[in-house]
Structure 1
Amino acid sequence: MNGPVVVGVDGSQSSLSAVDTAAHEAQIRGVGLHVVHAFIWPKMHVSLGPSAMGPADGGLRNLAVRTLDEAVARARAAAPDVEVTQDLITGEPLAVLEAQSRTASLVVVGSRGMGGFIGLLVGSTAVHLSTYGRCPVLVVRGAPDPTGPVLLAADGSPQAEAAVGFAFAEASLRGADLVALHAWGSWSERGDDDPGHPDNLVDDLDRLQSTEERVLAEALSGWQAKYPDVTVRRQLVRNRPRQALIEASGAAQLLVVGARGRGGFAGLLLGSVSQAALHHANCPVAVVRAGQLDQD
């Protein structure tokens, strides 16, 4: 899909950081940037204009307009060549962003917010947006290394194919290496000395590792041919997936995960691994759902 990059803003510092990232994404993709503020207050039946005792530029509507104007000015300063549009939309933030995702190539949000986007990563909210959005969702967080690689959570499942393609495309657009990390062996939270630990139920760990190496190679092979300009580094690690991803994200500029997985990344976005990435990764996290690349 060649739609614009959409960024949700609420006036928080986190959302302004999201504007910077979204402007860069729009620039490298050669598409426009659409800045959106969800204006929920009309639905709450409260006064939107300035109070009789307050300044003429006060009131909720004027605050929303200033929030948008500040974000747009920041976007234009970050990417002068990008066409920037804006929209003040009455509605609940997640419903607004979900609707915007139908024509967007990417939706970008901050990891924390206030006002219209308060609690964006609390509870099931991020899961909802990532699960039901029509395009990939990029959550801006951490302190990314601008010279670092794009980090891919690779599990070899058909459901993760879209995430693999997105990661290759991002690495190509950014001129970055791609690190494909595949965690195997320690799939559970049990200790290594637990008789029920998966590692202790396998007689031939070398054979299992060879199988996992083949799974990783097959997951990447077709995409490597499509993006010959991308240098790929494979990392096969025996570690808990969330620990491996969080540690590796410290040297990355972007972490890409699928919406679901198998093996080391089973239940991604439904369990602790995805929640750990969204809350604790040291760089922005892009969530890509199966089938989303088919919209291109």
Structure 2
Amino acid sequence: MVIETQNLVKRYGKVTAVDGVSLRVSQGEIYAFLGLNGAGKTTTIRMLLGMVKPTSGEVRVLGTRVRIGGPKPWASVGYLVETATAYPELTVRENLEVVQRLRPGTEPQAVDRIIEQLGLSAYADRRAGTLSLGNLQRVGLAKALIHQPEVLILDEPFNGLDPAGIVEIRELLRELVRNQGVTVFMSSHILGEVSRLADRIGIIHQGRLLQELDIAELERRRKRRLLVQTRDGLAAQTVLGAAGFSIERLDHQTIAVCDQSAIDRPDDIATLLVRAQHPPMMLKVEDEDLEQYFLRLIRQDVSN
């Protein structure tokens, strides 16, 4: 395992920010860490990086137990936590040169390489304090990547990026994983991007890790339903209910059928409705997306 925690706990007085989190991240995968604000994501990331001392439990990164002030394994780790920072009076290039000097062994051409890679060429000689939030985020990612780390730990890497920038960073992370075997541990509230990018997902709520699953397992767990729209939703509900189907009324024209037989054979539903003189205007199989699945899991946890 590249990243591993065992029963990780962090308390601040009477508040438990992280409560017994055990997670495992394999080499060369993109692991997305999801949770609401205050769920414990950033506190966990800070413990992964040795910025915060756990109350109990332990963290291992690249096989090394993480300790505050310890020298390892940081030469092989790049990170961006919460808001990207830079010296505002220095240019982008000068900021990156500072980081290069703080990373012994970094190649001489690393600054030019990472400026090109992150699309910062037009801003290289501009003072960091004048940058937009999105371009400052690119600088933060450049600082994390300049020494070509084996592991990237990123807290909200898409923060402040426009849609084109999000696509560029998504493709960059994929390329790093595919071509260099980099392991990425990231938190993000942009769940659409997470579903496109992640190999595995961990969901944390109120400090507890509710679930870890890979994308294939997520596909199996997501709910599906058949949306049916007619001119008279109540009449359609009556027809299909009489046929033994489980129906949810969404509005005056639209109902949802959750039975697997209806999802597998929507043409049978259409036939029933046509014969009852309530022909469908729309039949659509709807898959629960990651955001809907995440919120359903959180609501279940709250109700329990």
Structure with bigger strand share is 2
Same fold (TM over 0.5): no
- Higher-Rg member (1/2): 2
What's the TM-score once normalised by structure 1's chain length?
Answer: 0.28
